[in-house]
Amino acid sequence: MTVTRAPAETLSVLDRPNSYIGKTVPRPNLDRLLQGRGQYVSDLELPRMAHVVFLRSPYAHARIVAIDADAARRMSGVIAVVTGRELEAVITPWVGVLSHLKGLKSAPQHAIAVDRACWQGEAVAAIVATSRAAAEDAMEHVVVDYEELAAVTDMRTALDPATPVIHASLGDNLAFERTLDAGDVDQALSDSEVVEAEFVFGRHTGVTLEPRAVVADWNAAEARLTIYQGTQAPHMVQNIAALHLRLKEAQVRVVCKDVGGSFGIKVHIYADEMATYALSKLLRRPIKFVADRVESFNTDIHARDHRCRGRIGVRSDGTITAFEIDDLTGIGPYSMYPRTSAIEANQVVNLVGGPYVTANYRARARVVFQNKNVMCQYRAVGHPIACSITEGLVDLAASKIGMDPVEIRRRNLISDDAYPCASPSGMKFEQLSHHASLAKLLQMMDYGALRAEQAALRTRNIHRGIGFASFIEVTNPSATFYGVGGAKISSQDGVAVRLDAQGSVICQTSITEQGQGSESLTAQIVGSVLGVSMERVRVILGDTDNTPYGGGTWASRGAGIGGEAALQAAKALRQNILDVAAAILQSRPAGLDIVNNRIVNADDGAPRIELNELARIVYFRPDTLPPGIQPELMATRHFVPRQYPFAFTNGVQASWLEVDTETGFVTLLKHWVVEDCGTIINPQLVDEQIRGGVVQGLGAALFEKCIYDERGQLTNANMADYLVPMSGEMPDIEIGHVVSPTQETELGAKGAGEAGTAGAAAAVANAVNDALRPFGATITEIPLTPQVILTALGRI
Amino acid sequence: MSVPVPVSLLVNGERIDAFVLPRLNLADFLRENLKLTGTHVGCEHGVCGACTVRVDGEIVRSCLMLAVQAEGASVETVEGLSDSGEIADLQAAFRERNALQCGYCTPGMLMTAQDLLKHLPAPDRQAIREHLSGNYCRCTGYQAIVDAVEATARMRAERRA
């Protein structure tokens, strides 16, 4: 580990004796999951609970002429068949726009389609029955008369005058457009060698292993809705459900226990989930919806379907003079709610060229509607696209002037001592470490030896490639991300910590857990700051009735924001405990400390009183305390970043792979990542976040693609045909760190959840092109399937 | 098709007598009838491996087997293997190595890993990766799982020695 900044002059609360910060400790409560005793929403049953299934449009675009559900309603076990029109009585439609994304438009979307279905898979009726099987049986007897309409499927022609407009009220199929022009791109390009390419990204999706699941329980007597949902953002769900069911937020409780994978898929509000909430209210009983796998492919948000023309200017000395991009993406028929579907394209504009000093940058991004499933934010939103374009162009530039890909990066990456600084798109960087990271990466991979091995193997007709990708990553987003645009998505988080009667610690936090280790990092921080062992710290999360208000876990924000709130809350509680201890011991708070679950003298460490004894006195014998002392063994603190809109992180990845030029198959041999996420709370958890993220990026690079036909039919909506990475195909991934803590918080942690995904595909694509160099083939499309590779090689 | 039929089987050593619809698959039977929710359903078409259980000692996809096909069989789920202590060391290795994140694939992954270690006590990393290839994990990237299985194999070998 390399630390880029000198430590502070005094020891911080994180450097206390027996600190858990920076240590690998197992996550608490893993046994529950290891023994199959977790509590996922799909496991949940409630008294009188009914099951809903949705009849979904088989057409990409169709008018709903009539729905005949009489036969279905008469079937055994059927409780109700509900159409979009009928559900409107209890839930209002929504429009997925944010005011800070100027010009973004979308049309009202209904929980269940009214009059018209706009993608294959949009729900047109809900069938509620006593079991899921009974509901599915009845679904087959609901007859819908459709009038098929022309489907807009190709993003490239979506804006043509001849193309039908999906929502007439919007005037055209353009959802959002953003342009940016910084420096003087034309002047820069006129003085340079210019390389140009079109980058194509397959539409892919998250494939959480547990599908989306919700149980909505409207208690008519309490006039209260309890929503059990696998979500990353419980308070956001509470807000949206209340808003559209015409309830107060206080009438909605959202409970989220174990979640079987999220990756951004479960940070949105889906129409079928809204319908489930509404059905519970309508039918006055608990309703459960669990998507099946086909529904998941057809309705879980998709992402990354971009086509981008990119240009780069380079001088013979390797100086990159300009970047220019023209990005196009098709998002489906609606902008997703409430985070919108313009964020990914917006991020692409923000991030292209981000690691480099190049000041001349011009960009246009257009977001168009189509009759396909909705697209929205999935892990590393926009980053993989921006990184693939940027790093692809940098490699093309290096190739053009005959320079090593490492050398061109060395000459253009922002210097490690240039911070704070800003990018041409206005992104503010507090402290990044591109050069230190690259140096460390080269050392880890033994770059020189790999190049020699590559050359030796070439003579035996074995074609291996090395690919690099430097990246920056948005983490710890402030209110700039959603709040300023009018979305009720909190950018702050809160943590309440209390000392209980036996000296154990209960900690309620507004961040959520989907396996990242939110519970662990909270317990590590609280235990360290308080001087209490982790086994005594119990973390409660995922319940809007029982945690402070906050954003949740997404956009690599849990550790940096929720962790800082935990630290500050624990500091406050620690002071409160020391105040009480001083009163009991007739000492001064400053003369005392808490170490290993007991109050000790600050100077000589001599034990004074056990925490459980202190708690006993406070809770059961307060009569023995001096007059005027009111102990407060609970403290709550909140935190939100204010100085920087985002805490940018950085890193670099490298891929080493072999291309079989006869079959087009790619074998991944090794992958390296050096990442700088500031203070590392738990090295193992950080590394595993990065590894998991890398593999999702490797899936995008080689396998994953939602394949639509020209009529807007998703042709591979199952796990056998939509390929995700399997263990046999994945390489070992070596990870190193450079540590540049953010000075905005005492904790210094930035996010790490998306770094792996941000750069993995770019590194692989560059490595494939490196392997194919002797053949003069260059590919700027992912996934890099055998077909794509053999086509580039002219073999098919 | 719509008339329940009797089925008798052992589940985690316990005799179960039930009436089930012939179309009910074993995964749903375990989860919905017996409330053994540790067996997870990920794809319902035999690809992801989350529903892997042991039937008469061999691992099967319980979403691809009907409950009535388990007539007379001995079915073991992750709850059973946990309570018997059979995989305690494997579970400990998973915990130490953080070889699970969301935990949804974990029961199936443990079943499959234990199956490998029973048949091939000293697998190399590639053999582990191959054997686990029918069990999808979207969170970990697999390396930690491979490490945990490898560590368990090593520890078991040391215990035998």
Left if phi > 0, otherwise alpha if psi is -120 to 50, otherwise beta: which for A216? beta
Sequence-ordered list of residues with C-beta below 8 angstroms from that of A443, at least 6 positions apart, any chain: none
**Domain co-membership, A768 together with A658:** yes
**A514:B102 CB<8 A:** yes
Cα dihedral angle (A515, A518, A524, A527), rounded to 10 degrees?
-130
Q: What is the pLDDT of residues A139-162, one digit of tens each?
A: 999 999 999 999 999 999 999 999
Instruction: For the beta carbon of residue A394, count every other beta carbon within 10 angstroms.
Output: 29
Q: Any chain A CB within 8 A of the CB of B84? A: no
The radius of gyration of chain A's CA atoms, rounded to the nearest angstrom, is 28
pLDDT value of residue A9: 47
Q: Six-digit token pair at A586?
A: 């007739």
**Domain co-membership, A423 together with A473:** yes
Percent of chain A with pLDDT over 70: 99
User: What is the pLDDT of chain B when averaged over all its residues?
Assistant: 97
Query: Helix, strand, coil: what percent of chain A each, to 5?
Result: 30, 25, 45
Look-up of token digits 């992180």: A649
Cα dihedral angle (A70, A71, A75, A81), rounded to 10 degrees?
-40
pLDDT value of residue A783: 98
Q: Six-digit token pair at A176?
A: 């959002």
Q: What is the pLDDT of residues B44-78, one digit of tens each?
A: 999 999 999 999 999 999 999 999 999 999 999 99
**A727:B133 CB<8 A:** yes
Query: How many domains does chain A contain in total?
Result: 3
Q: Chain A to chain B, count of Cβ pairs less than 8 Å apart?
A: 172
Q: Which 8-state DSSP code applies to residue A375?
A: B
Run of H or E residues at A279: helix A271-283
**Domain co-membership, A623 together with A656:** no
User: What is the pLDDT of chain A when averaged over all its residues?
Assistant: 96
Percent of chain B with pLDDT over 70: 99
Q: Do A324 and A147 contact (CB within 8 A), yes or no?
A: no
pLDDT of A6 higher than 60: no
Which residues in chain A touch residue B29, judged by CB atoms under 8 angstroms apart?
Answer: none
Length of chain B: 161
Cα(A434)–Cα(A418) distance, integer angstroms = 11
Q: Any chain A CB within 8 A of the CB of B94? A: yes
Alpha-carbon gap: B161 to the closest alpha carbon of chain A (Å): 28
Q: What is the ipTM of this complex?
A: 0.98
**Domain co-membership, A132 together with A253:** yes
Q: What is the pLDDT of residues A361-392, one digit of tens each?
A: 999 999 999 999 999 999 999 999 999 999 99
pLDDT of A431 higher than 80: yes
Q: For B96-108, what is the mean pLDDT?
A: 98
**Domain co-membership, A389 together with A416:** yes
Peptide bond into A338 cis (omega under 30): yes
Listing from the earlier edge strand, what are the strands of the sheet with A634-639? A537-540, A505-509, A493-499, A634-639
Phi, psi of A553 (to 5 degrees): -120, 105
CA atoms within 13 A on the CB side of B94: 28
Run of H or E residues at A765: helix A755-771
Q: Six-digit token pair at A181?
A: 């022009």
First to last CA, chain B: 54
Cα(A126)–Cα(A135) distance, integer angstroms = 9
**B43:A293 CB<8 A:** yes
Alpha-carbon gap: A262 to the closest alpha carbon of chain B (Å): 9
**B101:A724 CB<8 A:** no
DSSP character string of A518-551: HHHHHHHHHHHHHT--GGGEEEE-SBTTTS----
Disruptive mutation site among A209, A521, A655, A716 for chain B (greatest number of B CBs within 10 Å): A209
**Of A250, A284, A299, which residue constitutes the final position of a domain?**
A299
Alpha-carbon gap: A353 to the closest alpha carbon of chain B (Å): 28
Residue of B nearest to A206 (CA): B138
**A726:B103 CB<8 A:** no
Q: For A453-478, what is the mean pLDDT?
A: 97
**Domain co-membership, A58 together with A80:** yes
Q: Six-digit token pair at A104?
A: 């973004």
Residue of A nearest to B49 (CA): A209
Alpha-carbon gap: A221 to the closest alpha carbon of chain B (Å): 29
Cα dihedral angle (A372, A373, A374, A376), rounded to 10 degrees?
-110
Percent of chain A with pLDDT over 90: 97
**Domain co-membership, A669 together with A744:** yes
Which residues in chain A touch residue B100, judged by CB atoms under 8 angstroms apart?
Answer: 30, 33-34, 515
Q: What is the pLDDT of residues A318-366, one digit of tens each?
A: 999 999 999 999 999 999 999 999 999 999 999 999 999 999 999 999 9
**Domain co-membership, A628 together with A660:** no
**Domain co-membership, A455 together with A502:** no
Given A36, A208, A261, which is nearest B78 (Cβ)? A36
pLDDT value of residue A3: 57
**Of A622, A639, A656, which residue constitutes the final position of a domain?**
A639
Sign of CA dihedral B134, B140, B145, B146: positive
pLDDT of A5 higher than 60: no
| Residue at A332 is within a domain | no
**A36:B96 CB<8 A:** no
pLDDT of A39 higher than 80: yes
Disruptive mutation site among A25, A29, A33, A524 for chain B (greatest number of B CBs within 10 Å): A33
Residue of A nearest to B31 (CA): A43
Q: What is the pLDDT of residues A294-307, one digit of tens each?
A: 999 999 999 999 99
Q: Six-digit token pair at B114?
A: 């234990």
pLDDT value of residue B135: 98
Cα(A495)–Cα(A519) distance, integer angstroms = 12
pLDDT of A507 higher than 90: yes
Q: For A106-121, what is the mean pLDDT?
A: 98
| Residue at A187 is within a domain | no
Which residues in chain A touch residue B114, judged by CB atoms under 8 angstroms apart?
Answer: none
Q: Do A572 and A637 contact (CB within 8 A), yes or no?
A: yes
Q: Six-digit token pair at A599?
A: 């109050």
**Domain co-membership, A111 together with A231:** yes
**Domain co-membership, A462 together with A497:** no
Sequence-ordered list of residues with C-beta below 8 angstroms from that of A790, at least 6 positions apart, any chain: A663, A664, A796
Q: For A733-746, what is the mean pLDDT?
A: 97
**B132:A260 CB<8 A:** no
Given B23, B132, B141, which is nearest A692 (Cβ)? B141
CATH of the domain at A68: 3.90.1170.50
**Of A588, A616, A639, which residue constitutes the final position of a domain?**
A639
Length of chain A: 796
Distances (CA, A) of B31 to A109, A291, B100: 35, 16, 21
| Residue at A200 is within a domain | no
**B94:A34 CB<8 A:** yes
The parent domain of residue A451 ranges over 374-477+645-792
pLDDT value of residue A14: 78
| Residue at A171 is within a domain | no
Collapsing DSSP to helix, strand or coil, A127 comes out as strand
pLDDT of A12 higher than 90: no
DSSP character string of chain B: --S-EEEEEEETTEEEEEEE-TT-BHHHIIIIIS--TTS--SSSSSSS-TTEEEETTEEEETTSSBGGGGTT-EEE-HHHHHHHTTTHHHHHHHHHHT--SS-SSHHHHHHHHHHHHHH-SS--HHHHHHHGGGS--SSS-SHHHHHHHHHHHHHHHHHH-
Residue of A nearest to B91 (CA): A34
Which residues in chain B touch residue A693, judged by CB atoms under 8 angstroms apart?
Answer: 141
| Residue at A506 is within a domain | yes
CB-neighbour burial class of residue A34 (10 A; exposed 0-12, middle 13-18, buried 19+): buried
Q: For A269-279, what is the mean pLDDT?
A: 98
Sequence-ordered list of residues with C-beta below 8 angstroms from that of B139, at least 6 positions apart, any chain: A261, A515, A692, B100, B101, B102, B105
**A718:B79 CB<8 A:** no
| Residue at A686 is within a domain | yes
Closest alpha carbon to A525 in A708, A367, A748, A370: A748
pLDDT of A7 higher than 60: no
Q: Which 8-state DSSP code applies to residue A458?
A: H
Alpha-carbon gap: A316 to the closest alpha carbon of chain B (Å): 40
Cα(A435)–Cα(A196) distance, integer angstroms = 26
Q: Any chain A CB within 8 A of the CB of B147? A: no
**B41:A42 CB<8 A:** yes
**A207:B138 CB<8 A:** yes
Collapsing DSSP to helix, strand or coil, A222 comes out as coil
**Domain co-membership, A33 together with A49:** no
CATH of the domain at A698: 3.30.365.10
| Residue at A356 is within a domain | no
Q: Do A351 and A382 contact (CB within 8 A), yes or no?
A: yes
Which residues in chain A touch residue B63, judged by CB atoms under 8 angstroms apart?
Answer: none
pLDDT of A453 higher than 60: yes
Given B95, B100, B129, which is nearest A728 (Cβ)? B129
Sequence-ordered list of residues with C-beta below 8 angstroms from that of A461, at least 6 positions apart, any chain: none
CB-neighbour burial class of residue B10 (10 A; exposed 0-12, middle 13-18, buried 19+): middle
| Residue at A177 is within a domain | no
